[in-house]
Amino acid sequence: MSFALSHPLLLLLLPLALLPWFGAGRPRRVYPALALLPEDPLSRWLSAAERLLASIAITALLVALSGPYRPEVEIERVGHGAQMMVLMDRSRSMDQPFYGKHTATAPLPYLGQQLETKGQVARRLLSEFAARRAQDMFGMVIFSTKPIQVLPLTQKPEIIQAAISAAGIGRGLAETDVGGGLIRALQFFADRPYTGSRILLLISDGAATLGLATRARIQQLAQQHRVALYWLYMRTRNSPGIFDSPHRAEDPEGLYPQWSLHQFFRSLETPYRAYTAEDPQALEQAIRDVSSLQNLPLHYLETIPRRDLHRGWYAAAALMLLPLTALRWVESRQ
């Protein structure tokens, strides 16, 4: 444990601590015949004690004034977090209400019912996820027509939440280009040290059929940068999910783009997982998966902030001044 001073030059005043030892240190009484006074050991002892108390008090005050502190230290810790790039859909369709899975027993939505939009549900889940996985590094890219990088990989919770909540202000943009977004987010890992497992978390409600070139590029980038892909799927009302296989055999890619995207992701050689937002267990499952699967150690620096230590020195000075004041008060009453 180290110790440092903010204003060490103030210690040049330390000779002031000798001040009590010069001079009488008390009012002189005019007395005609000092020789007649008897020797008083108690007075001598008290006088020495007073000088000592004053000396220590001055020293402690000077040390306190010079600003003692324990400097900030950075400790390298090894955690089991991941580097997670969030790719969030900001297309207009994310502003539509989120109905969840359509089942025979689910109550029908009625006119005027206040439903959360898909974007709100996504942000709520993501925000909770980020809060629960504080050891992970998060970055964010939003996409509609063009991918827009919002946040570099960081571990600071405040700015992560700021980026998540920003996605909730203002309407969504026009279109969706999942392919461009995926490529941009994957490229983000290029030229960065592999300090922890990498995950690309896609949050989106729809899909587009990707061209062959785009597919090849995504596959290549995911392998090259060793990125696992997680997809949090926001189901559109009455749309078949990503897990349901198409009912109609002809043109499944055109009719069920989300299913086709899911199949493409599954064909990747890098790890892939899909979650559906309507499943209340999805968030827990995702958190469990990140904790258990991505178990490579992540090196990060934790900063232990600087701590000021002046208060203790002031307290010491006060403890010296208290008996000193009491003694002087008694003397002045005699």
What is the contact surface with another protein in residues (CB under 8 A)? Answer: 16, 19-20, 22-30, 54, 57-58, 61-62, 64-65, 67, 90, 142, 144-146, 148-152, 154, 156, 158-159, 162-163, 165-167, 169-171, 173-174, 310-312, 314-315, 317-318, 321-322, 324-325, 328-329, 331-334
* Shortest separation between residue 8's beta carbon and another protein, angstroms: 15
Angle formed by the axes of helices 282-293 and 118-132, to 10°? 40
From 225, 169, 202, select the one nearest 87 (Cα to Cα). 202
Q: How far apart are CA 321 and CA 323, in angstroms?
A: 6
Which ranges in the chain belong to alpha helices (H)?
A: 41-65, 118-132, 157-166, 178-187, 212-224, 252-255, 257-267, 282-293, 310-333
Determine the 3-state secondary structure of 36 from DSSP. Answer: helix
Q: Decide whether 56 or 202 has the Cβ nearer to another protein.
A: 56
> How many whole angstroms separate alpha carbon 290 and alpha carbon 200?
11
Shortest distance in whole angstroms from residue 41 CB to another protein = 22
* Distance of closest approach, residue 266 Cβ to another protein, in angstroms: 30
Length of the chain: 334
- Reduced to 3 states, what is the DSSP secondary structure of residue 299? strand
Nearest to another protein of 48, 106 (CB atom): 48
Question: Minimum Å distance from CB 295 to another protein?
Answer: 27
Q: Which two tokens stand for residue 274?
A: 């899909």
Comparison of 238 and 303: residue with beta carbon closer to another protein? 303
Which burial class, exposed, middle or buried, applies to 228 when counting CB atoms under 10 A from its CB (0-12, 13-18, 19+)?
buried
Q: How far is the CB of 188 from another protein (least distance, A)?
A: 10
Least gap, CB of 5 to another protein (angstroms)? 13
- In the structure, how many helices (H) and strands (E) does the chain have? 9, 11
Q: How far is the CB of 32 from another protein (least distance, A)?
A: 9
Nearer to another protein, 247 or 333 (CB): 333
With respect to another protein, which residue has the nearer C-beta, 29 or 248? 29
For residues 293 and 231, give the distance between their C-alpha atoms in angstroms, rounded to a whole number: 15
Residue 86 or 228 having the CB closest to another protein: 86
User: Of 109 and 168, which has the nearer Cβ to another protein?
Assistant: 168
Burial tier of 227 (Cβ tally within 10 Å: 0-12, 13-18, 19+): buried
